[in-house]
Amino acid sequence: MSFDESDLRRRMNGALNSLKEEFIGLRTGRASTALLDSLKVDAYGSKMPINQVASLSTPEARLILIQVWDQSMVNSIEKSIRESDLGLNPQTEGSSIRIPIPELSQDRRIELVKVAGKYSEQAKISIRNVRRDIIESIRKLEKESEISEDEKRDSEGKIQLITDEFINEIDDMLAQKEKDIKSV
């Protein structure tokens, strides 16, 4: 075989796991600190996850509370939350930020489904990029006469089957997430 199937699957699983993390952040009306896991904040000259510059908690079912450790980071965190496509409206009180989680309206549910679709499309692009990289390396091997044309064709077929398997799994995950978001 002219490609490492376990490496291919490992790289494609990375895209799947990333999608799972992003889907965890798409909550359906209940407060969860995981909602903010994907957000990065401009902090000390680099992008950092919010949980590395503040502590997050959910004191109530419909409220996320952020206790910022460094007062100078409050505006940066608030800006990151406002600019995200989560549709949240943070309220600053000194070094803490309160984020009320709105009841999901039908419009908000539709918006969240669109966001989920965008996340799944990004995962599919990642999967296709992995496929392209591996196929390019196989074509290079064939060009250098290290593998035959038949081996190249067989490998490309196997890579496409594995790619289709991952794309189908992404579609299934999206369908499940849409169902979760739309259920009242």
The reported pTM is: 0.67
Q: Which secondary structure element, helix H or strand E, spans residue 66, and what is its range?
A: strand 63-68
Residues in Cβ contact with 76 at an 8 Å cutoff, skipping those fewer than 6 apart: 41, 42, 43
Closest CA to 115 of 22, 16, 47: 22
- Separation CA 33–CA 151 (nearest Å): 49
Closest CA to 34 of 68, 70, 64: 64
Burial of residue 178, with CB atoms counted within 10 A of its CB: 0-12 exposed, 13-18 middle, 19 or more buried: middle
Q: What is the domain-level CATH number for residue 81?
A: 3.30.1360.40
Do residue 90 and residue 131 come from a single domain?
no
- Separation CA 57–CA 63 (nearest Å): 9
Do residue 120 and residue 171 come from a single domain?
yes
Do residue 49 and residue 85 come from a single domain?
yes
In the listed set 100, 125, 149, which residue is the last one of a domain according to the structure?
100
Structural domain including 82 reads 29-100
Q: Are strands 63-68 and 54-60 parallel, antiparallel or unpaired?
A: antiparallel
Do residue 115 and residue 148 come from a single domain?
yes
Torsion sign (Cα): 114, 120, 126, 128 = negative
pLDDT tens readout for residues 110-122: 888 998 999 999 9
Q: How many CA atoms are closer than 13 Å to the CA of 87, on its beta-carbon side?
A: 18
Residue 87 gets the label, from left (phi > 0), alpha (psi -120 to 50) or beta, of left
Do residue 68 and residue 126 come from a single domain?
no
pLDDT tens readout for residues 45-79: 888 888 888 999 988 878 899 999 988 888 888 98
> What does DSSP assign to residue 64?
E
In the chain, the number of structural domains is 2
Show pLDDT as tens, one digit a residue, over the chain (184 residues).
567 889 999 999 999 999 988 887 776 666 778 778 778 888 888 888 888 889 999 888 788 999 999 888 888 889 888 888 777 889 999 889 999 887 777 887 888 899 899 999 999 999 999 999 999 999 999 999 898 889 999 999 999 999 999 999 999 999 999 988 887 5
